[in-house]
Amino acid sequence: MRVTALAGGTGAAKLLRGLAACLAPRDLTIVGNTGDDTEVWGLHVSPDLDTVTYALAGLLDVARGWGRADETFHALQAMAALGAPTWFSLGDRDLATHLTRTAALRDGATLTAVTGRLAARLGVEARILPMSDEPVRTTITTTEARLTFQEYFVRDKALGDVVRVDYDGASMARPAPGVLEAIGDADRVVVCPSNPVTSIGPILAVPAIVEALRSTRAPIVGVSPIVGGAPVSGPAGRLMQARGLDVSPLGVAAAYAPWLRTLLIDARDAGLAPALERAGVRAVAADIVMTDHAGEVALARGVLEAA
Ligand code: GDP
Q: What is the tens place of the pLDDT at every residue in 194-237?
A: 999 999 999 999 999 999 999 999 999 999 999 999 999 999 99
Which atom number of ligand 1 is nearest to the Cα of residue 235?
Answer: 3
Measured distance CA(218)–CA(185) in Å, rounded: 8
Q: What is the domain count for the chain?
A: 1
Cβ-based neighbours of 157, under 8 Å, separated by 6 or more? none
Pocket test for ligand 1, best of 50, 200, 232, 268 (most atoms within 8 A of CB): 232
Measured distance CA(105)–CA(128) in Å, rounded: 17
Has residue 286 got a pLDDT over 90? yes
Distance (Å) from CA 98 to ligand 1 centroid: 24
- Is residue 231 within 6 Å of ligand 1 at its C-beta? yes
Which atom number of ligand 1 is nearest to the Cα of residue 153?
Answer: 4
Measured distance CA(48)–CA(69) in Å, rounded: 16
CATH number at residue 249: 3.40.50.10680
Q: How high is the pLDDT of residue 180?
A: 98
Pairing relationship of beta strands 137-142 and 162-168 according to DSSP bridges: antiparallel
- Is residue 150 within 6 Å of ligand 1 at its C-beta? no
Q: What is the pTM of this model?
A: 0.97
Distances (CA, A) of 120 to 18, 33, 141, 216: 19, 19, 37, 28
Domain for residue 243, yes or no? yes
Bridge partners, 120 (sequence order): none
Domain residues for the domain of 68 are 3-136+174-306
pLDDT, tens digit, 9 for 90 and up, residues 130-162: 999 999 999 999 999 999 999 999 999 999 899
Domain for residue 286, yes or no? yes
Average pLDDT, integer, range 239-259 = 97
User: Considering the chain, what is the average pLDDT of its residues?
Assistant: 97
- Is residue 9 within 6 Å of ligand 1 at its C-beta? yes
- Is residue 229 within 6 Å of ligand 1 at its C-beta? no
Has residue 307 got a pLDDT over 90? no
Measured distance CA(223)–CA(148) in Å, rounded: 27
